[in-house]
Amino acid sequence: MLEEHYATWVTEDTFVQIKDLGLNHVRIPIGYWAMGNLTTDEPFVPDLSWKYLLRGIEWARKYGIRVMVELHAAPGSQNGWNQSGKMGQITWINGTTGWANAERTLLYLQNMAAFFASPDYMHVNTLMGLLNEPAAYAIGADNVMTWYRSALEAVRKSTGNGKGPWAIIHDGFLGLQAWSDFMRGSDRLMIDVHQFVVFSPRLMAMSRAAQLRTACEEWSADSIRSTATFGPTVVGEFSVATNDCAQYVNGIDGKPRWHGDCTYENDVSTFSPEYKTFLANFFNAQLDAFEQGIGWFYWNFKTETNPVWSYVDGVKHGWIPKDVNDRGPGFCVPNGYNVRV
Protein backbone atom coordinates (compact mmCIF):
# COMPACT_ATOMS: atom_id res chain seq x y z
CA MET A 1 0.00 0.00 0.00
CA LEU A 2 2.79 2.43 0.90
CA GLU A 3 4.71 1.72 -2.29
CA GLU A 4 1.54 2.07 -4.35
CA HIS A 5 1.08 5.56 -2.91
CA TYR A 6 4.67 6.54 -3.71
CA ALA A 7 4.35 5.13 -7.22
CA THR A 8 1.09 6.89 -8.09
CA TRP A 9 0.70 10.09 -6.05
CA VAL A 10 3.50 11.92 -7.86
CA THR A 11 4.18 10.99 -11.48
CA GLU A 12 6.09 12.50 -14.37
CA ASP A 13 2.91 14.36 -15.32
CA THR A 14 3.07 16.12 -11.93
CA PHE A 15 6.32 17.77 -12.98
CA VAL A 16 4.90 18.65 -16.39
CA GLN A 17 2.06 20.43 -14.58
CA ILE A 18 4.46 22.24 -12.27
CA LYS A 19 6.47 23.53 -15.21
CA ASP A 20 3.35 24.57 -17.14
CA LEU A 21 2.08 26.54 -14.12
CA GLY A 22 5.21 28.69 -14.14
CA LEU A 23 6.73 27.23 -10.98
CA ASN A 24 10.49 26.73 -10.82
CA HIS A 25 11.18 24.89 -7.53
CA VAL A 26 9.67 22.00 -5.60
CA ARG A 27 10.11 21.24 -1.91
CA ILE A 28 10.29 17.51 -1.19
CA PRO A 29 10.10 16.41 2.46
CA ILE A 30 11.69 13.15 3.60
CA GLY A 31 11.89 11.34 6.91
CA TYR A 32 15.21 10.14 8.28
CA TRP A 33 14.11 6.54 7.67
CA ALA A 34 14.46 7.20 3.93
CA MET A 35 18.20 6.77 4.50
CA GLY A 36 17.94 3.60 6.60
CA ASN A 37 20.10 2.84 9.65
CA LEU A 38 17.08 2.45 11.93
CA THR A 39 17.03 1.12 15.46
CA THR A 40 14.99 -1.97 16.29
CA ASP A 41 12.20 0.05 17.94
CA GLU A 42 11.60 2.40 14.98
CA PRO A 43 8.54 1.17 13.02
CA PHE A 44 9.36 2.71 9.65
CA VAL A 45 10.04 1.23 6.22
CA PRO A 46 13.69 2.03 5.52
CA ASP A 47 15.09 3.17 2.17
CA LEU A 48 11.84 2.88 0.17
CA SER A 49 11.02 6.59 -0.09
CA TRP A 50 14.61 7.41 -1.11
CA LYS A 51 14.08 5.50 -4.35
CA TYR A 52 11.05 7.62 -5.18
CA LEU A 53 12.81 10.81 -4.12
CA LEU A 54 15.51 10.13 -6.71
CA ARG A 55 12.87 9.37 -9.33
CA GLY A 56 11.24 12.74 -8.65
CA ILE A 57 14.58 14.52 -8.86
CA GLU A 58 15.19 13.05 -12.30
CA TRP A 59 11.82 14.36 -13.50
CA ALA A 60 12.64 17.75 -12.02
CA ARG A 61 15.92 17.73 -13.94
CA LYS A 62 14.11 16.80 -17.16
CA TYR A 63 11.73 19.76 -16.90
CA GLY A 64 14.17 22.38 -15.62
CA ILE A 65 12.86 22.49 -12.05
CA ARG A 66 15.13 22.92 -9.03
CA VAL A 67 14.65 20.89 -5.85
CA MET A 68 14.71 21.61 -2.13
CA VAL A 69 15.01 18.36 -0.19
CA GLU A 70 14.14 18.82 3.47
CA LEU A 71 14.58 16.55 6.45
CA HIS A 72 10.99 16.55 7.65
CA ALA A 73 11.34 14.10 10.52
CA ALA A 74 14.24 13.52 12.91
CA PRO A 75 14.93 10.63 15.29
CA GLY A 76 12.90 11.14 18.46
CA SER A 77 10.56 13.73 16.85
CA GLN A 78 11.50 17.39 16.79
CA ASN A 79 7.95 18.61 17.52
CA GLY A 80 5.70 15.76 18.64
CA TRP A 81 3.40 16.07 15.62
CA ASN A 82 2.33 13.43 13.14
CA GLN A 83 4.44 14.92 10.33
CA SER A 84 7.57 14.25 12.39
CA GLY A 85 6.91 10.52 12.29
CA LYS A 86 5.84 10.26 15.94
CA MET A 87 3.09 12.05 17.83
CA GLY A 88 3.38 12.89 21.49
CA GLN A 89 6.59 13.30 23.44
CA ILE A 90 9.53 15.18 21.93
CA THR A 91 12.73 13.20 22.44
CA TRP A 92 14.92 15.15 20.03
CA ILE A 93 17.28 17.23 22.22
CA ASN A 94 14.72 16.79 25.03
CA GLY A 95 14.88 13.84 27.41
CA THR A 96 17.55 11.31 28.25
CA THR A 97 18.11 10.29 24.62
CA GLY A 98 17.48 13.75 23.19
CA TRP A 99 21.01 14.86 22.41
CA ALA A 100 21.91 11.41 21.09
CA ASN A 101 19.00 11.71 18.65
CA ALA A 102 20.14 15.20 17.72
CA GLU A 103 23.67 13.94 17.04
CA ARG A 104 22.27 11.10 14.98
CA THR A 105 20.32 13.64 12.93
CA LEU A 106 23.62 15.33 12.05
CA LEU A 107 24.87 12.10 10.49
CA TYR A 108 21.82 11.93 8.24
CA LEU A 109 22.38 15.55 7.20
CA GLN A 110 26.04 14.91 6.43
CA ASN A 111 25.08 12.02 4.17
CA MET A 112 22.36 14.07 2.45
CA ALA A 113 24.70 16.99 1.89
CA ALA A 114 27.48 14.86 0.45
CA PHE A 115 25.04 13.12 -1.88
CA PHE A 116 23.42 16.29 -3.19
CA ALA A 117 26.76 18.08 -3.55
CA SER A 118 27.94 15.42 -6.01
CA PRO A 119 28.25 16.39 -9.69
CA ASP A 120 25.15 14.36 -10.59
CA TYR A 121 22.89 16.40 -8.30
CA MET A 122 24.51 19.73 -7.45
CA HIS A 123 22.79 21.62 -10.27
CA VAL A 124 19.33 20.23 -9.47
CA ASN A 125 19.30 20.00 -5.68
CA THR A 126 20.22 23.58 -4.91
CA LEU A 127 18.48 23.85 -1.53
CA MET A 128 18.50 21.64 1.56
CA GLY A 129 16.24 22.07 4.58
CA LEU A 130 18.12 21.06 7.71
CA LEU A 131 15.00 20.22 9.73
CA ASN A 132 11.30 20.97 9.44
CA GLU A 133 9.59 22.85 12.27
CA PRO A 134 11.63 22.08 15.39
CA ALA A 135 9.49 23.16 18.34
CA ALA A 136 11.95 25.63 19.82
CA TYR A 137 9.32 26.89 22.27
CA ALA A 138 9.35 23.42 23.89
CA ILE A 139 12.96 22.41 23.28
CA GLY A 140 14.52 25.78 24.08
CA ALA A 141 15.68 28.45 21.66
CA ASP A 142 19.31 28.21 22.77
CA ASN A 143 19.31 24.44 22.29
CA VAL A 144 17.88 24.65 18.78
CA MET A 145 20.28 27.43 17.80
CA THR A 146 23.23 25.44 19.15
CA TRP A 147 22.12 22.43 17.13
CA TYR A 148 21.71 24.52 13.97
CA ARG A 149 25.30 25.73 14.33
CA SER A 150 26.44 22.12 14.55
CA ALA A 151 24.21 21.17 11.62
CA LEU A 152 25.66 23.80 9.30
CA GLU A 153 29.17 22.81 10.36
CA ALA A 154 28.37 19.15 9.61
CA VAL A 155 26.91 19.99 6.21
CA ARG A 156 29.87 22.13 5.17
CA LYS A 157 32.27 19.48 6.43
CA SER A 158 30.66 17.19 3.86
CA THR A 159 30.47 19.65 0.98
CA GLY A 160 33.30 22.09 1.58
CA ASN A 161 32.72 25.82 1.82
CA GLY A 162 31.21 27.35 -1.28
CA LYS A 163 29.95 23.97 -2.46
CA GLY A 164 26.76 21.96 -2.16
CA PRO A 165 23.21 23.16 -1.62
CA TRP A 166 22.15 26.24 0.28
CA ALA A 167 21.25 25.25 3.84
CA ILE A 168 17.88 26.34 5.20
CA ILE A 169 16.91 26.62 8.86
CA HIS A 170 13.36 26.98 10.17
CA ASP A 171 12.41 29.73 12.61
CA GLY A 172 11.22 27.17 15.16
CA PHE A 173 8.04 29.21 15.75
CA LEU A 174 10.07 31.83 17.58
CA GLY A 175 9.32 34.45 14.93
CA LEU A 176 11.79 35.72 12.39
CA GLN A 177 12.90 38.55 14.66
CA ALA A 178 14.47 36.02 17.05
CA TRP A 179 16.99 35.10 14.35
CA SER A 180 18.26 38.58 13.51
CA ASP A 181 22.03 38.40 12.97
CA PHE A 182 22.07 34.65 13.70
CA MET A 183 25.20 33.16 12.13
CA ARG A 184 25.62 36.24 9.95
CA GLY A 185 28.22 35.70 7.27
CA SER A 186 27.71 31.93 7.15
CA ASP A 187 28.24 30.06 3.91
CA ARG A 188 24.96 30.14 1.95
CA LEU A 189 22.39 30.04 4.75
CA MET A 190 18.66 30.86 4.44
CA ILE A 191 15.82 31.01 6.96
CA ASP A 192 12.37 29.55 6.42
CA VAL A 193 9.11 30.64 8.03
CA HIS A 194 5.68 29.03 7.64
CA GLN A 195 2.88 31.58 7.48
CA PHE A 196 -0.55 30.11 8.16
CA VAL A 197 -3.87 31.45 9.39
CA VAL A 198 -5.20 28.04 10.36
CA PHE A 199 -2.91 27.34 13.31
CA SER A 200 -3.73 30.61 15.05
CA PRO A 201 -7.16 31.03 16.67
CA ARG A 202 -6.51 34.79 16.62
CA LEU A 203 -6.01 34.87 12.85
CA MET A 204 -8.88 32.47 12.18
CA ALA A 205 -11.22 34.74 14.14
CA MET A 206 -10.36 37.78 12.00
CA SER A 207 -12.59 39.12 9.27
CA ARG A 208 -11.49 38.38 5.72
CA ALA A 209 -10.48 42.02 5.31
CA ALA A 210 -8.26 41.76 8.39
CA GLN A 211 -6.69 38.55 7.09
CA LEU A 212 -5.83 40.30 3.82
CA ARG A 213 -4.33 43.20 5.76
CA THR A 214 -2.26 40.76 7.83
CA ALA A 215 -0.74 39.29 4.68
CA CYS A 216 -0.13 42.63 2.99
CA GLU A 217 1.27 44.53 5.95
CA GLU A 218 2.41 42.18 8.72
CA TRP A 219 3.78 39.28 6.69
CA SER A 220 5.40 41.54 4.12
CA ALA A 221 7.10 43.46 6.93
CA ASP A 222 8.34 40.17 8.39
CA SER A 223 9.98 39.24 5.08
CA ILE A 224 11.53 42.67 4.59
CA ARG A 225 12.95 42.92 8.12
CA SER A 226 14.29 39.36 8.10
CA THR A 227 15.99 39.85 4.74
CA ALA A 228 17.68 42.97 6.13
CA THR A 229 18.70 41.54 9.53
CA PHE A 230 19.24 37.82 8.84
CA GLY A 231 19.58 37.43 5.10
CA PRO A 232 17.75 35.33 2.49
CA THR A 233 14.26 34.56 3.79
CA VAL A 234 11.87 32.05 2.22
CA VAL A 235 8.30 31.11 3.12
CA GLY A 236 8.47 27.33 2.98
CA GLU A 237 4.77 26.72 3.61
CA PHE A 238 1.54 28.67 3.19
CA SER A 239 -1.95 28.12 1.81
CA VAL A 240 -5.18 30.05 1.30
CA ALA A 241 -6.93 28.06 4.05
CA THR A 242 -8.45 30.24 6.75
CA ASN A 243 -9.87 27.46 8.92
CA ASP A 244 -8.57 24.10 10.11
CA CYS A 245 -11.34 21.92 8.68
CA ALA A 246 -9.00 19.88 6.49
CA GLN A 247 -8.71 16.19 7.33
CA TYR A 248 -5.78 15.41 9.67
CA VAL A 249 -4.51 19.00 9.72
CA ASN A 250 -4.64 18.83 13.53
CA GLY A 251 -3.39 15.24 13.68
CA ILE A 252 -5.10 11.90 13.19
CA ASP A 253 -7.69 12.42 15.94
CA GLY A 254 -7.54 16.21 16.08
CA LYS A 255 -10.70 18.30 15.99
CA PRO A 256 -11.00 21.76 14.40
CA ARG A 257 -10.35 24.74 16.65
CA TRP A 258 -12.36 26.94 14.29
CA HIS A 259 -15.87 27.62 15.58
CA GLY A 260 -17.52 27.80 12.15
CA ASP A 261 -19.26 25.06 10.19
CA CYS A 262 -16.90 22.64 8.45
CA THR A 263 -19.67 20.77 6.63
CA TYR A 264 -19.06 22.25 3.19
CA GLU A 265 -15.42 23.26 3.41
CA ASN A 266 -14.26 20.35 1.22
CA ASP A 267 -16.99 20.82 -1.43
CA VAL A 268 -16.00 23.40 -4.05
CA SER A 269 -19.50 23.32 -5.53
CA THR A 270 -20.74 25.10 -2.39
CA PHE A 271 -18.14 27.90 -2.55
CA SER A 272 -19.80 31.24 -3.27
CA PRO A 273 -18.38 33.63 -5.90
CA GLU A 274 -17.50 36.00 -3.04
CA TYR A 275 -15.53 33.29 -1.25
CA LYS A 276 -13.63 32.37 -4.42
CA THR A 277 -12.79 36.05 -4.94
CA PHE A 278 -11.44 36.20 -1.39
CA LEU A 279 -9.31 33.09 -2.00
CA ALA A 280 -7.86 34.69 -5.15
CA ASN A 281 -7.15 37.93 -3.31
CA PHE A 282 -5.61 36.10 -0.36
CA PHE A 283 -3.33 34.08 -2.64
CA ASN A 284 -2.15 37.24 -4.40
CA ALA A 285 -1.76 39.16 -1.13
CA GLN A 286 0.47 36.44 0.27
CA LEU A 287 2.62 36.35 -2.86
CA ASP A 288 2.97 40.14 -2.65
CA ALA A 289 4.22 39.68 0.91
CA PHE A 290 6.46 36.66 0.45
CA GLU A 291 8.15 38.00 -2.65
CA GLN A 292 9.55 40.75 -0.42
CA GLY A 293 11.85 37.87 0.55
CA ILE A 294 13.37 35.45 -1.92
CA GLY A 295 10.37 33.25 -2.62
CA TRP A 296 7.81 30.76 -1.41
CA PHE A 297 6.49 27.20 -1.56
CA TYR A 298 2.75 26.47 -1.45
CA TRP A 299 1.68 23.69 0.90
CA ASN A 300 0.70 21.55 -0.90
CA PHE A 301 0.76 20.87 -4.63
CA LYS A 302 -2.32 18.64 -4.31
CA THR A 303 -4.37 16.99 -1.58
CA GLU A 304 -6.77 14.08 -1.27
CA THR A 305 -9.76 16.11 -0.11
CA ASN A 306 -9.39 19.76 0.90
CA PRO A 307 -9.21 22.11 -2.12
CA VAL A 308 -7.90 25.23 -0.37
CA TRP A 309 -4.69 23.35 0.50
CA SER A 310 -4.25 22.17 -3.10
CA TYR A 311 -2.40 24.32 -5.63
CA VAL A 312 -3.79 22.41 -8.61
CA ASP A 313 -7.36 22.67 -7.29
CA GLY A 314 -6.83 26.40 -6.86
CA VAL A 315 -5.84 26.65 -10.51
CA LYS A 316 -8.70 24.42 -11.61
CA HIS A 317 -11.30 26.50 -9.77
CA GLY A 318 -9.85 29.89 -10.56
CA TRP A 319 -8.38 31.37 -7.39
CA ILE A 320 -4.78 30.63 -8.45
CA PRO A 321 -3.61 31.85 -11.88
CA LYS A 322 -2.71 29.35 -14.58
CA ASP A 323 0.72 31.00 -14.84
CA VAL A 324 1.91 32.37 -11.53
CA ASN A 325 4.31 34.71 -13.34
CA ASP A 326 1.38 36.43 -15.04
CA ARG A 327 -0.75 37.66 -12.16
CA GLY A 328 -0.79 41.34 -12.98
CA PRO A 329 -0.10 44.04 -10.38
CA GLY A 330 -0.92 41.80 -7.43
CA PHE A 331 -3.38 42.67 -4.70
CA CYS A 332 -1.82 44.74 -1.93
CA VAL A 333 -0.60 47.96 -3.57
CA PRO A 334 -3.60 48.38 -5.94
CA ASN A 335 -5.87 48.08 -2.89
CA GLY A 336 -4.02 50.66 -0.82
CA TYR A 337 -2.11 48.44 1.58
CA ASN A 338 1.32 49.43 2.85
CA VAL A 339 3.75 46.73 1.68
CA ARG A 340 6.83 47.86 3.55
CA VAL A 341 8.20 48.06 7.09
Q: Virtual CA dihedral for 8, 9, 12, 13, nearest 10 degrees?
A: 110
Homologous superfamily of the 195-341 domain (CATH): Glycosidases (3.20.20.80)
Is the backbone of residue 216 left (phi > 0), alpha (psi -120 to 50) or beta?
A: alpha
Three-state SS at 39: coil
Where is pLDDT greater, at 58 or 87?
Answer: 58
Reported as a pLDDT band with limits 50, 70 and 90, residue 244 is confident
pLDDT at residue 275, rounded to an integer: 96
Give this prediction's pTM. Answer: 0.95
CA distances from 106 to 99, 100, 263 (A): 11, 10, 44
| Integer Cα distance of 194 and 90 in angstroms | 20
pLDDT at residue 6, rounded to an integer: 94
- Annotated catalytic residues are 133, 237
Q: Which residues contact 248 (CB under 8 A, 6 or more apart)?
A: 82, 254
| Every domain range in the chain assigned CATH 3.20.20.80 | 1-194, 195-341
What DSSP assignment string belongs to 162-177? T-SPEEEEE-TTS-GG
E strand residue ranges, the chain = 25-31, 66-73, 125-129, 166-170, 189-194, 233-237, 295-296
pLDDT, tens digit (0-9, with 9 covering 90-100), for 36-46: 999 998 999 99
pLDDT, tens digit (0-9, with 9 covering 90-100), for 64-112: 999 999 999 999 999 888 888 888 999 999 999 999 999 999 999 999 9
Mean pLDDT confidence for 201-230: 96
Phi and psi angles of residue 83, each rounded to the nearest 5 degrees, phi first? -70, -5
First to last CA, the chain: 49
pLDDT at residue 85, rounded to an integer: 86
Where is pLDDT greater, at 250 or 132?
Answer: 132
Reported as a pLDDT band with limits 50, 70 and 90, residue 252 is low
- Is pLDDT at 260 greater than 90 in this prediction? no
The topology (CATH level 3) of 1-194 is TIM Barrel (3.20.20)
| Integer Cα distance of 228 and 95 in angstroms | 36
DSSP conformation class of 153: H
Instruction: Mean pLDDT check: name the lowest of 111-115, 245-249, 271-275, 303-307.
Output: 245-249
